[in-house]
Chains A and B, each alone.
Chain A
Amino acid sequence: MTKIWRETGFVENDPWVIETDEVKATEEQKPLLGLDELIAKADESNDVGLGVLIKPADDVRRLEPYLDRLEIVAVAFPAFNDGRAFSHASLLRQRLGYTNELRAVGDVLIDQVPLMLRVGIDSFAVTNATALKRLSENRLPAIPHHYQPAVRDADAGKGYSWRRQAKPAA
């Protein structure tokens, strides 16, 4: 069972679906398109509110002309140790200036969620049982002292320009 989590809590009725041969989006759902598909659709239509799934080998910079047409970008972690999506997320937020929903999909585990949050990912498709449990308890294994700036806004860390301190929870 996969649930969608954001820092505000689990999300009900999430419309986004990754289509496969077996699974297609229903009337109420919306497909997360592959990068080439998304570009084709955006070029051929006036559709807005689209969703795209960025795979690790994709060049996320190709999204630049289409950002205002996107409601969600999902970045894939097919294996939790495939760290390319951390760079995709960083580039999307910092280089391309993307501001809408950025979702981690794939092998999302609790120990990586704090790092994902720091690179600007703000929603998570979670299947792992331990991760679901910890998220429902809001127990993230995070370290609030950071030794480097990242996407997520943080306070200046004491001592040196590269340090940051996580902002206190709202």
Chain B
Amino acid sequence: MYRYDEFDHAFVSERVEQFRDQVQRRLSGELAEDAFKPLRLMNGVYLQLHAYMLRIAIPYGTLSARQLRMLAHIARTYDRGYGHFTTRQNLQFNWPKLSDIPDALADLASVEMHALQTSGNCIRNVTADHFAGAAADEIADPRPYAEILRQWSSVHPEFSFLPRKFKIAVTGAERDRAAIQVHDIGLHVKKNDKGEIGFAVYVGGGQGRTPMIAKLIRDFLPEEDLLSYTTAIVRVYNLHGRRDNKYKARIKILVHETGTEELTRQVEAEFAALKDSELKLPEKDVQAIAAYFAPPALPERAEGWENLARWKKADAGFARWVQQNVQPHKNPDYGMVTISLKPIGGIPGDASDAQMDAIADLAEEYGFDEIRVSHEQNLILPHVALADLEAVYRGLVAINLAEANAGLITDIIACPGLDYCALANARSIPLAQEISRRFGNAERQAEIGELKIKISGCINACGHHHVGHIGLLGVEKKGAELYQITLGGSGDEHTSIGEIIGRGFEPDRVTDAIETIVDTYLGLRLDHSENFLAAYRRVGPQPFKTALYGSAAEAA
């Protein structure tokens, strides 16, 4: 993974001192709140219902054991002993004191981390496939480009006050595990016929109030043009994105209102002027960055095969966990392990400081010191020898994070919701917990198969409900919570926005509604291999509407 050089260390230290000065000026009253707010947002400090919230940047979701231990330390020292992993591969702390934050940032800087630009109207954390560098189906590693974009976008003088936030995601396989088509810019790293690396460029995807699927504006952008082209897009957005209405200020609205063709023309015109500028990427720089992401030297561990078979036969729970939570690695002696942060009845995406420390230990001993955060709020150990899977499993059992539910119905994504968030209209977490408990039975989950439930507590869609196979959107109606159900959303390479199927459900009726949906699916699927999404795409919403609401006329 990327290691800070002297330049990076200097920059982060300077940034910490700059923010320390800004906090001190705020606390002394020299800086008023309205001037301080955009500055604190640029350092990831929000004000929520109960307290401040600090969002730590985890670049493209990659962490070392040392860094994860520091996050545990910060949870213990400055917070209430836990952190929450988010749908943008970051980590949130819910109870830091403003007066402590400069010290917490200094601690983070000591392990090459920061909270820069995780909020505010600037370019946010560049996210990437959480299986990058390990997945058997990967064509090209997206992380070097995510790293280059991360550096280039840090305190960019022209792009620090955009109309609104700006999110970029990068993927390098045909299977899109980074949901690039619901990002402001989505990049698909690929190779052309000559084997040269380039990007398919998508612009104008997003969720929130008006979910939109990104438009492909460039089929193949040569590697060396990455920064010039991105500059062109962001400059056009900075100049023309709407600033009159917060809910219409993302680039997706600009694309929609300008028209894809015209917007592409503007971007290409700006790019033409930038193409041969100092932004052109020299090959040697790309290679130097890529070198940080060279795969670890993976020793042959052929004994894993035999051991694995034996262990699976001896322990059905272990067998289930391997089946569900371990994915094929490029190297056949290895697997990619998903550590589900969705224990049955637990808070999705939360981890205690003790759990973080334990995972750091496992990563160090069995995982080549690498951990990933997925946008589905789970942690990944991307390189684990099959021969070590049993030891890793036991380690996870000991900390209650061995649920074999990756991608299954209880692997729920939920935003913090009204339990924490000042923007929310309804709670997400208790609903996730209830659904999880209802469907907690292992056999039943396996029977149902892949089913991604995503819950958002408000229209801002931080729970990504628009791309849930089942999406739940919490709204407020007459002072009470109500949940709208959408079906058929997906954030993969065949991105689709979920369709609302009818009237909302009160909190105590939602789980039954999910049961009805699941039972309907089980009743009409061709066989076990046709998962929920495929079945929905085949039959459409009608069978589900009828099951939930009776005749078609009753559906809202």
Contact = CB atoms under 8 A, between A and B. Distances in A.
Interface of A: 56, 80-84, 86-87, 90, 95, 109, 111-112, 114-116, 118-119, 130, 141, 143-150, 157-163
Nearest to B15: A143
A157 B38 CA distance: 27
Interface stretch (B275-283, B375-383, B453-461): B275-283
B157 A80 contact: no
Interface in B265-306: 273, 278-282, 285, 288-289
Contacts, number: 105
Contact of B152 (A90, A112, A119, A162): A162
Chain A binding surface SS class: loop
8 contacts: A83-B121, A84-B243, A86-B161, A111-B35, A141-B18, A147-B154, A150-B157, A162-B227
B76 interface: no
A147 B155 contact: yes
A159 B5 CA distance: 8
B219 interface: no
Contact of B160 (A115, A157, A162): A115
Nearest to B38: A81
Contacts of A95: 273
A83 B237 CA distance: 11
A83 B161 contact: yes
Nearest to A139: B21
Interface in B523-555: none
Contacts of A111: 22, 35, 39
Contact of A81 (B121, B151, B155): B121
Given A130-B30, A141-B21, A147 B151 contact: yes
Contact of B235 (A56, A87, A144, A157): A87
B341 interface: no
B239 interface: yes
A112 B31 CA distance: 14
B285 A160 contact: yes
A56 B159 CA distance: 14
Among A84, A95, A159, A160, residue most surrounded by chain B Cβ atoms (within 10 Å): A160
Contacts of B14: 143-145
A137 B278 CA distance: 35
Nearest to B25: A130
A83 B163 CA distance: 8
B282 A161 contact: yes
B311 interface: no
Given A81-B121, A109-B35, A150-B158, A141 B22 contact: yes
A87 B238 contact: yes
B7 A119 contact: no
Contacts of B162: 83
B80 interface: no
A80 B6 CA distance: 32
Given A84-B243, A141-B22, A158-B7, 6 more contacts: A87-B239, A114-B157, A115-B160, A145-B7, A147-B155, A162-B227
Contacts of A90: 158, 235
Contacts of B282: 161
A86 B278 contact: no
A64 to B, nearest CB: 13
B161 A148 contact: no
Contacts of A150: 157-158
A87 B235 CA distance: 7
A146 B11 CA distance: 8
Contacts of A158: 5-7
Contact of B7 (A115, A149, A157): A157
Contacts of B161: 80-83, 86, 112
